[in-house]
Amino acid sequence: MVPFKTHNVLEHDQITHGFFGRKGGVSTDQFGQLNTGQGSDDAPENVFENRRRVAEALGTTEPRLLSNYQIHSSEVVIVDGPWDNGRPKADGMVTRRKGLALSALGADCGPVLFHDPQEEMIGACHAGWGGALKGITTSTIRAMEGLGSCRENIRAVLGPCISQANYEVGHDFRDTFVAEDESYDRFFELGPERNDGERRPHFDLKRFILARLRDEGVTRIACLEDCTYGQPEDYFSYRFNTHQGVEGYGRNISAIMLKE
C-alpha cells in the first residue's frame, strides 16, 4: 500500500482522500519514488505506474485519477468524467460525480482539497503563490457554489507545501503582494542576515492560503504542517533540488474522491 496522510477535517464516509509524498513508487534518481507528474522528465511508464498506485489507494483506477495541466491561474473546470481531449489548462476542479479522484500536484506549491458533505460535492486546487494571489481558492469555492454548494458547508484542507522558514523571496516579490493589498504585508517577515549582509523577506504561503479561504467564509479549514523543502526524504521540492544543483523534480499528489 502506498503511504499517505489524511486530515480529520475531511474525514467522512462519503469520500476518500489522501496527501501523498514521494514514497511507495517505482521512479528513481531525482524522481524517486512516487513521482506523479505527467509533465516531468521521468519515464512515462513510471509515472503511469505511480499514478495507478495512488488511484488504487483511493479506491479507483488510473484513468479516473484526474490532474489538470496546471498553469498557476485562477481557472477551474467542472468535471463530469475522465478527460477526453487531454488535460485542461486550469488549476482547480470540482465535481458531483462519484468515482472520480480530483487531484492537485505540487513540489512546494499548496494543494487544497474541498468537500461539501451537504451537497455531496468535492473540489481540488493547486495554489502556488501566483494562483493563490490570483484567487484560485476563491474560484474553486465559486465553482462549487455554481453546482449548488453553500460555502458555509465547505470543508477545506491545505496539504504539504513549503514553509515560511524556507521560502526566501525578493523585495519585489513582496511588493507585488502589497500592491494588490497592503494588508498582505503581514505574510512576510525578514529572514536571517545573508553572507552579503542583506536580510530578505520570507513568504508564508501556508498562512496566506488559509487566510484567503477564511476571507471567503469557509470556517472548517486546516492544514498539514509538513514542509516540502524541509522534509526532502518525504516530499518532492523544486526549491530544494534547485539549491542542491539537481535538475528536474518529481511532483507530490493530493487527491479526493466521492465514493461510488
- pLDDT at position 240, please? 98
The answer, yes or no, to whether residue 214 has pLDDT greater than 90, is yes
The answer, yes or no, to whether residue 94 has pLDDT greater than 90, is yes
**Closest to 96 (Cα-Cα) out of 68, 63, 67, 120:** 120
Using DSSP's 3-state secondary structure scheme, residue 237 falls into: coil
The CA-CA-CA angle for residues 251, 227, 109, to 5°, reads 45
The answer, yes or no, to whether residue 197 has pLDDT greater than 90, is no
Q: Give me the mean pLDDT over the 208-232 stretch.
A: 97
The answer, yes or no, to whether residue 215 has pLDDT greater than 90, is yes
Q: What distance in Å separates the CA atoms of residue 63 and residue 72, rounded to the nearest whole number?
A: 24
Q: Is the pTM of this model over 0.85?
A: yes
The fold of the 7-167+204-258 domain, in CATH, is CNF1/YfiH-like putative cysteine hydrolases (3.60.140)
Band (pLDDT 50/70/90 cuts) for residue 159 is very high
Band (pLDDT 50/70/90 cuts) for residue 196 is confident
- pLDDT at position 180, please? 96
